[in-house]
Structure 1
């Protein structure tokens, strides 16, 4: 898998920086939900870890790529909010102890003699102590260390963190690019333009939309309204049917 079309410009800039041996060691990747921030971080991580990288990305066949595909690469870490196994509740913050463990990992030599890569998912949830403990590592990371912070809210990060990272910002792509990509991923029964309008232009959110319960309910509701207009069913019949099937808030959402 390569990066998405709306990510190509950023990808090319990273390629050029690496070719000049001037690639940054810390990045903030930001944008609204549905633009593939995490997916981009995974492509970038695999590419940095790959032993035979090309301009397209990781080679997928070297030892590093095989470990990556098996989700067991020793030189990669994902940091995110912890979920309690007993209660299944997810912490609202990333804690300082988690960051300290990550710093210990980054300070060690890479097992495959290449990059060490860390991705911090929802970096805006770093608590103040965790964020402050990360500053020195962001400032002094080695030449083959990459720290990738993902966030939908970059202004919630400390200014001192933002100033130490290269900013990679993804905006909602133009409608022509979004529609062309989305239609190529969908069966012909779905209208890409409609899905994008319902997803505020975010292509991945639009792609996932047909599988959501509220969208399916919306489609059924619209079909039922059409049947009432065509006098195939009475409005009373449809009303009674929907009262049985959906809660009031689901009807409002649909």
Structure 2
């Protein structure tokens, strides 16, 4: 009797790593950065009062040579100032999300609430966040909480609108399945409604954070508190344009990094 030895199983081929797409994205990013640099070089050549690239580079080197020093409220390193601004933004942004998401769920789920609340949202949404600063001062008697209040107002509307849109778009088939399985309201919210609406919610949060990061600069100029916005205003008052442009670059890079993080989160929760 001959015993035939079975052949060893062929190992599954390893999935090929697609490096082409990331390299293309990096290439387009560098291309855009190069075009922006070229435009600025042309502008600084035409306008002698704009700082040259060398002056901006020297200013950035000085700022990051000792970025964490703290010699008082009006004399801090650039990363200390950036950290102060981020603290205010995240405080207002988190409070806004805590209010906006449940409000958007109610508006998207109950047509009567949507009809009653949508005019209020559309009435208040176009108001500039800075217009709320005096109201914040009246309510809180201090510039610090008034600044957080502005961010809170800013973070509300995009998240409310996107959440309501996502919730109202739940397909009828999903609702029928929940009805067949006799889901309780809590089960329906957390097993059907929220998973379906989550990509829209994250999109609203992404938009809200981007707007909040823009507003914090102007809010700190108004409040006179330490932060990256206060630094821009202080540098302008000192006629230090290289520092102004350097701060603009730091603000832009920070906003870009957080936007990329939200973009990754959007892809993680997307069901498409």
* TM-score higher than 0.5: no
Of Structure 1 and Structure 2, the greater helix share is in 2
Q: TM-score, normalised by structure 1?
A: 0.20
Q: TM-score, normalised by structure 2?
A: 0.19
Structure ID, larger Rg: 2
Of Structure 1 and Structure 2, the greater strand share is in 1
